Copies of this chain bind each other. A is one copy, B any other.
């Protein structure tokens, strides 16, 4: 009935729908960095009231995708090389930590989940970019989600999304994978299944650093 459903699927609350929609728009660059986010404008776009919009923007503030300036409204978070570098640094610290813990707690269920997600990701890479993005995130998060450290996982997921945003901004979201990313994923998966924490974290980090350097080059400044 409203645009929220049309865009983000069958959502429950208006707030959650607005959250998902605006989030997606910021991540993909439909709402560019620094853009003023006017309540009225979004209210009209999302076909909802001011309260859900404000609440959604408040939630996005925590995700560091939106900045709030007291009494002066909201805007899409700015971007910059320093910010990108910090995201990369934090990911290279936090993800290995989570991956090690996941491997230390390895069990059959987790390994099966990993294999499955990896399979889905490979299948999705033939189809559209959007599908691949979802499956790619799911695979990477599966690597970390056996750690039993929910806050750490949350940080990693947050940083993953912030990083994706830069990918979309740099390449318009398309064909960013030239390298043998498939092979890199394969190697990470195998190291994880072997419970080889050293190799797995090593490969994960270099996976990130290569993508990071590639984007850094495109970003200038």
By beta carbon, the residue of chain B nearest A87 is B151
Size class of A's contact patch?
Answer: 20 to 34
Q: Is the CB of B59 within 8 A of A90?
A: no
Q: Is the CB of A82 within 8 A of B12?
A: no
Q: What CA separation (Å) do A51 and B55 show in the bound complex?
A: 9
Select one of B12, B61, B87, B89 contacting A59, CB under 8 A: B61
Contact residues in B for A83 (Cβ distance below 8 Å): 151
Residues on A lying within 8 angstroms of B by beta carbon are 12-13, 16, 51, 54-55, 58-59, 61-64, 70-71, 82-83, 86-87, 89-90, 93-94, 97, 148-152, 155
Contact residues in B for A61 (Cβ distance below 8 Å): 59, 62
Q: Is the CB of A86 within 8 A of B149?
A: yes
Q: What CA separation (Å) do A82 and B71 show in the bound complex?
A: 39
Expressed in whole angstroms, the minimum distance between the Cβ of A186 and any Cβ of chain B is 29
Select one of B62, B94, B97 contacting A63, CB under 8 A: B62
Q: Known contacts A12-B71, A61-B62, A62-B59: does B51 contact A86 (CB below 8 Å)?
A: no
Q: Is the CB of B70 within 8 A of A12?
A: yes
Contact residues in B for A71 (Cβ distance below 8 Å): 12-13
Q: Is the CB of B12 within 8 A of A64?
A: no
Q: Known contacts A51-B51, A70-B16: does B58 contact A152 (CB below 8 Å)?
A: no
Expressed in whole angstroms, the minimum distance between the Cβ of A145 and any Cβ of chain B is 14
